Amino acid sequence: MRTLRDFGLALASGLLAAFAFPKFNISFLAWIALIPLLFVISRSKPGRAFALGLTAGLSFYGLLLYWIPNVPAHYGGLSLGFSLAATFGLVLLLAFFWGLFGLALSRVSSLWPAAGFVLAPFIWVAQEYALTHILTGFPWGLMGYSQSSNLWLIQASALTGVYGVSAVLVFFQGSFVYSLTRRKRTPFFIGLGVLAAFHVGGALSLGPTNPGPGAFRAAVIQGNVSSDFFQGQVPASEILKQFEHHMNLTRKAADEGAELIVWPEFSVPLCFSCEDPLSRELTDRLLSYARRSGRTLVVGTVEVARLGERIDHFNAVLALQPDQPWTEYHKMHLVPFGEYTPYPSVFGFVERMTQAVGEFTPGAAPVVHDFRDMNFGSPICYEIIFPSLVRQFVRNGAHFLATVTNDGWYGATSAPHQHFGIAVFRAVENRRYLLRAATTGVSGIIDPWGRVVSKSEIMTAAHLTGIVTPSSRRTFYSRFGDVFALFCLTMALVFFILSFFLGRHDRQGKKSRQRIY
């Protein structure tokens, strides 16, 4: 009976945590969601704790990522059954990290109960950091992202990255569980004190909303083009129609004073390195508009490079200047099974899913673009979920960020809203304005403290304008990166390894005492 109850509590933990994310947006649940899991882990042996963590992870990712199966089924031409099986494989892999958290916490807590409560956030961050970097990485559901609208708390990410917000959530809930199981009030009040300190510190660190030196007006364009537009052969007349639609939105933004205008990823099939007549026509019209209007256009394109018989395709962002050659950035971190097939010797049988979008070549460097006397970075779509990748643009001199994306693959699900919430953290971590142009939404402008200046509705055509203030200031996170996460990983590994040596020593001591007495 207890076993059934414990696994039911673990299952509930995962579901509650998922409900804290968009579009459910019950963000306060993130402050209590892990309490049942931490409670059952605290009274379980390592093997059982791993199973409990795995169960919680399965329910969390199963609900959080419910929107994935439709993508390979609809756009990849795969059967729904295969798509569900592939999604379950991904969910199981991600849940494995929650299982490792349970195993490590149980092992450490069994030897040092008090240290277990202190180390819980370190172990949690260690598994989130591992999840970000192992294999291709998929840090979509980091717990801190549930707090994207908690303006005061998320300021901590300028020091620690999103991992610090996750740590505060786990520390608070761990202190509650420790107080409950040990019948001590002090740990809970310590947790409350840490929580209050982060919120007060965040409130005090908020910057001004008024424009600063070098401020300019920018715009993002949302054409609301369905991803079905890219399936099969699209008539030239339809491409020209969509192009003119985006140009009309661009002219409206320019009439409102926008000097820099951002188009989404894959909004119109553009290729500046292609020689076909349609590509040449669209390229010439965009370059001509930039020169005549004096505006800088930032557009998502697919570029090609030929090396002998080899042809490379790049998912790219081009910045078209009115008075100088364009600059070009190639996406570095591609979407596995969407833009390339990872480990083709193993996963070659699902290559058809990749071909639905295209087989791309990764870019080599985080190129920054010029705008007036400043620079900006342009992470593309999926790249925005990787904190260490985005900070490379800032280290290369970006004074603001402009990300382009196509979330139309996911329809009106939670995915576009979750993706937008993740982008909020990249703005705060680096204290940079962030412009986000999404093909079908959510588009928006985010200030360096995570305040959403403007935001579009999903599945609508829109143009959003706002004032952007460039910055050359670097945060602790921009300068030093994942120092906090690496510290957490080190602490977790040290205590986990020590638990084996000290645990063995303790067992040997007990055997010796049994022989003596």
For residue 136, pLDDT over 60 is answered with yes
- First-to-last C-alpha distance (Å) of the chain: 38
Band (pLDDT 50/70/90 cuts) for residue 509 is: very low
Residues in the chain: 517
CA dist list (Å): 323 to 28, 295, 381, 397, 448: 50, 10, 28, 21, 29
For residue 100, pLDDT over 60 is answered with yes
Percentage of the chain modeled with pLDDT above 70: 93
Q: Most distant CA pair in the chain: distance in Å?
A: 95
Band (pLDDT 50/70/90 cuts) for residue 113 is: confident
Per-residue pLDDT reduced to its tens digit, 221-237 = 999 988 766 655 688 99
Q: Is 271 a catalytic residue?
A: no
Greater confidence (229 vs 108) lies with: 108
Contact 437, 402 (CB under 8 A): yes
Q: Is 331 a catalytic residue?
A: yes
Return the pLDDT at 303: 96
For residue 280, pLDDT over 90 is answered with yes
251/243 Cα distance (integer angstroms): 12
For residue 258, pLDDT over 70 is answered with yes
Per-residue pLDDT reduced to its tens digit, 344-398 = 656 665 655 555 556 899 999 999 999 999 999 999 999 999 999 999 999 999 9
Tokens of 188: 């809970």
For residue 478, pLDDT over 80 is answered with yes
For residue 78, pLDDT over 80 is answered with no
Return the pLDDT at 69: 93
Return the pLDDT at 37: 98
The backbone torsions φ and ψ at residue 376, rounded to the nearest 5 degrees and listed phi first, read: -145, 155
Return the pLDDT at 23: 85
357/438 Cα distance (integer angstroms): 17
Return the pLDDT at 506: 52
How many Cβ atoms are within 10 Å of 467's Cβ, its own excluded?
Answer: 17
47/434 Cα distance (integer angstroms): 44
For residue 472, pLDDT over 60 is answered with yes
Q: Which of 128, 271, 303, 331 is catalytic?
A: 331
Between helix 2-19 and helix 46-64 the angle, nearest 10°, is 40
Give the pLDDT mean for 84-95. Answer: 95
Residue 488: in which H helix or E strand, if any? helix 483-516
130/135 Cα distance (integer angstroms): 9
Q: Is 381 a catalytic residue?
A: yes
Give the pLDDT mean for 121-133. Answer: 97
Return the pLDDT at 512: 40
Give the pLDDT mean for 209-217. Answer: 94
For residue 74, pLDDT over 90 is answered with no
What mean pLDDT value characterizes the chain? 92
Number of H helices, E strands in the chain: 17, 12
Give the pLDDT mean for 299-327. Answer: 93
- Residue found under tokens 């490590």: 104
471/460 Cα distance (integer angstroms): 31
Return the pLDDT at 277: 95
Contact 376, 401 (CB under 8 A): yes
For residue 59, pLDDT over 80 is answered with yes
Tokens of 356: 């639905």
Return the pLDDT at 319: 98
Greater confidence (72 vs 217) lies with: 217
Q: Which of 128, 271, 303, 381 is catalytic?
A: 381
Per-residue pLDDT reduced to its tens digit, 394-419 = 999 999 999 999 999 999 999 999 99
Band (pLDDT 50/70/90 cuts) for residue 266 is: confident
Say which residues have a Cβ less than 8 Å from residue 2's Cβ, sequence separation at least 6: none
Q: Which of 265, 303, 339, 429 is catalytic?
A: 265
Give the pLDDT mean for 119-130. Answer: 97
Return the pLDDT at 514: 39
Contact 366, 353 (CB under 8 A): no
319 pairs with which residues across the strands?
A: 298, 327
For residue 507, pLDDT over 80 is answered with no
